[in-house]
Amino acid sequence: MITIKDLSKVFSTKSKTISAVDNLSLEINKGEIFGVIGYSGAGKSTFIRLINRLEDPTDGQVVIDDENITLLNKKKLRVARQDIGMIFQHFNLLWSRTVEENISFPLEIAGVPKQERQERVHELIRLVGLAGREKAYPSELSGGQKQRVGIARALANNPKVLLCDEATSALDPETTDSILELLVNINEKLGLTIILITHEMHVIRKICHRVAVMDAGKVVEQGDVLDVFLHPQKQITKKFVEQIMGDKDQEDALDLLKEKYDSGKIVRLHFIGELTNQALISQVAKQYEIDINILQGKITQTQKGAYGSLFIHIDGDEEEIKRAIDYITSTSVEVEVIPYV
Amino acid sequence: MFNELFPNVKMDDVWVATYETFYMTLIALLGTFILGILLGLLLYLTSRGGLWQNKALNFIVASIVNVFRAIPFIILILLLFPFTDFIVGTIRGPNAALPALIIGSAPFYGRLVEIALREVDKGVVEAAKAMGAKTNTIILKVLLPESMPALVSGITVTGIALIGYTAIAGVIGAGGLGDFAYFYGFQRRSFDVVFVCTVLIVIIVFIFQFIGDSISNKLDKR
């Protein structure tokens, strides 16, 4: 649905030229939430601005629904932009306008008649959960509420795409979650394609279907979120995954565990995009004559199910333990028996 | 009591002079507001990174603004005599002071407008662009409303300077309290007249400042 081909942006100053976005190509499908992650300076902010040409690309093209954005003249670009919503890290609301006037602004730009504007504004206010705050000024709202206004404003003209520029980076974790939920909600309800850029892996984990990792203006890795989580190829990607999963330090703690137990078995369970076996532990405990002790682990939820690993200690009759492990192996959960030294 | 303290003050004449001062200030203020906003917008829009970025035009406008701000007001009045005569048809009276008042204060206000516009959040302008707004829309619905409190406090400062200018203009016979204080007070050695005129001018300044501040505060929803 969105095709980005060989997109480049070079900033030149007197002393040097900087390639902010370097020959970048991507395909983004209709209705998906596509995340771009990278550290600051990786060029992701420039990248998202190239999509609606807030920055003009030096080279390459952006095609949205067969419309080549990069070739449009100023007038046609303005019309095309009404189909591309955008939300910002610092919300960028007009302080001089109330909530409803802010949401009404893009409708005024699109020349929607007053009556229709009012109806649409009320619809949007309900959609983003701001009923009762219509007459408030942005200065009277919390960060999360401001971003809700930003989202309502971006959706006003029923866009095909929503661009999110670090939309949750200025919010606290709890508010971030509620805004992310709203985005997923909108994505599902309206079938809206969302492109978001962030430096926070948990944003990607929580709502994205696919992800691209950006470094020095290039996409160094991309794919399904789960694949990238499971098999990060590049060092930078591994670092982002560690943000969520913790790092290899866990393994050291394993030696301590081994010393503590002399009977039974320590088993590591890998949950990979698990949707069906969420109650695995209790199932196993009920079916087999064994004791299960959860030792440590970390499991996190992505759009494609649970992902993570769990260390458990199984104690009981040796045969029974074996049967239990065989059972777990027969599910989609991967099992690894940690040998005692 | 009043007649004993101020034997030379004829209140009827003082009120006429006060009215003339108000008249000159308000009309000149209106002209300054319009011209100043146009100049300020031009300066802002043609500057580097502006919506109409244009080095040459920016240089020309900035030069005109700087030149007119550099000319002392009393000399500007004299320089503008032919222009005033052509436009107004006379070089005496309150109307004759208006061209000089407006041309003298609009460049000053223009700079204040430019500063006010620079304070508008760039992100908000970017958001409007991302919505597909035309430059006209950005000017009328983003830049001006978002800078309105600063525009109002700017015009208040300019208005107070203008009251001072009207007094200077009085010296060349423009009418108003300055004129009155100079010809009926100073030149006739009637210092009670000078005193009364001064008090009235100070009161007018206070009124302007008060009105300006309250409007600016009322507009500011930040």
Q: Is A82 on the interface with B (CB under 8 A)?
A: yes
Q: Is B13 on the interface with A (CB under 8 A)?
A: no
Optimal mutation site among A109, A112, A141, A163, interface B, most CBs of chain B within 10 A: A109
Q: Is A50 on the interface with B (CB under 8 A)?
A: no
Q: CA-to-CA distance for B117 and B107, rounded, in angstroms?
A: 15
Q: Is B218 on the interface with A (CB under 8 A)?
A: no
- Selected residues 193-252 of chain A with any CB under 8 Å from a CB in chain B: none
Q: Is B146 on the interface with A (CB under 8 A)?
A: yes
**Using the beta-carbon criterion (under 8 Å), do A54 and B126 form an inter-chain contact?**
yes
The CA distance from B151 to the nearest CA of chain A, in Å, is 14
Is domain A2-244 classified as CATH 3.40.30.10?
no
| Fold: same for A2-244 and A249-338 | no
Q: Is A56 on the interface with B (CB under 8 A)?
A: no
Q: CA-to-CA distance for A92 and A167, rounded, in angstroms?
A: 11
Amino acid present at A245:
M
**Using the beta-carbon criterion (under 8 Å), do A92 and B121 form an inter-chain contact?**
yes
Three-state secondary structure string covering chain A: CEEEEEEEEEEECCCCEEEEEEEEEEEECCCCEEEEECCCCCCHHHHHHHHCCCCCCCEEEEEECCEEHHHCCHHHHHHHHCCEEEEECCCCCCCCCCHHHHHHHHHHHCCCCHHHHHHHHHHHHHHCCCCCCCCCCHHHCCHHHHHHHHHHHHHCCCCCEEEEECCCCCCCHHHHHHHHHHHHHHHHHHCCEEEEEECCHHHHHHHCCEEEEEECCEEEEEEEHHHHHHCCCCHHHHHHHHHHHCCCHHHHHHHHHHHHCCCCEEEEEEEEEECCCCCHHHHHHHHCCEEEEEEEEEEEEECCEEEEEEEEEEEECHHHHHHHHHHHHHCCCEEEEECCC
Q: Is A159 on the interface with B (CB under 8 A)?
A: no
**CB-count burial class (<10 Å; 0-12, 13-18, 19+) for A176:** buried
Structure tokens at B179: 């004129």
Structure tokens at A89: 């890290």
Q: Is A189 left (phi over 0), alpha (psi -120 to 50) or beta?
A: alpha
- Which ipTM score applies to this complex? 0.87
Which residues of chain B lie closer than 8 angstroms to A80, CB-CB? 132
Which residues touch B42 (CB under 8 Å, ≥6 apart)?
A: B57, B58, B61
Structure tokens at A302: 């992505």
Q: Positive or negative, the Cα torsion across A41, B120, B37, B71?
A: negative
The CA distance from B222 to the nearest CA of chain A, in Å, is 5
Amino acid present at A197:
I
Instruction: Tell me the domain boundaries of chain A.
Output: 2-244, 249-338
Domain that holds residue B134: 2-219
* Phi, psi dihedral angles at A7 (to 5 degrees): -75, 130
Q: Which pLDDT score is estimated for A276?
A: 63
Fold of A249-338: Alpha-Beta Plaits (3.30.70)
Closest residue of chain B to A50, computed from CA coordinates: B130
Residue B85 pLDDT > 60, yes or no? yes
CATH number at residue B213: 1.10.3720.10
DSSP for B53-111, written as a single string: --HHHHHHHHHHHHHHHHS-HHHHHHHTHHHHHHHHS-SSSHHHHHHHHHHHHHHHHHH
Q: CA-to-CA distance for B188 and B167, rounded, in angstroms?
A: 18
> How many independent structural domains does chain B possess?
1
Q: In a structure prediction context, what are the per-residue pLDDT tens digits for chain A, which is 341 residues long?
A: 899 999 999 998 888 888 899 999 999 999 999 999 999 888 899 999 999 999 999 999 999 999 999 999 999 999 999 999 999 999 999 999 999 999 999 999 999 999 999 999 999 999 999 999 999 999 999 999 999 999 999 999 999 999 999 999 999 989 999 999 999 999 999 999 999 999 998 899 889 999 999 998 999 999 998 888 878 888 888 888 877 776 555 556 666 667 777 778 888 887 877 666 668 888 888 888 888 888 888 787 777 777 777 888 888 888 888 888 888 888 878 888 877 65
Q: Determine contact, residues A297/A308, Cβ cutoff 8 Å.
A: yes
Per-residue pLDDT tens digits for B6-41:
877 788 888 999 999 999 999 999 999 999 999 999
Classify B51 as helix, strand or coil.
coil
Q: Is A261 on the interface with B (CB under 8 A)?
A: no
CB pairs under 8 A between A and B: 66
Find the distance separating the first CA and the last CA of chain B, reported in whole Å: 51
Which residues of chain A lie closer than 8 angstroms to B222, CB-CB? 95, 139
Q: Determine contact, residues A214/A204, Cβ cutoff 8 Å.
A: no
Q: Which pLDDT score is estimated for A275?
A: 67
Q: Which pLDDT score is estimated for B26?
A: 93
Q: Is A106 on the interface with B (CB under 8 A)?
A: yes
Among A134, A139, A94, CA closest to A118: A134
Residue count of chain B:
222
Which residues of chain B lie closer than 8 angstroms to A153, CB-CB? 127, 131
* Phi, psi dihedral angles at A59 (to 5 degrees): -155, 160
Distance of CA A182 to the CA centre of its chain: 12
Q: Which pLDDT score is estimated for A145?
A: 95
Q: Which pLDDT score is estimated for B8?
A: 79
Q: Is A30 left (phi over 0), alpha (psi -120 to 50) or beta?
A: beta
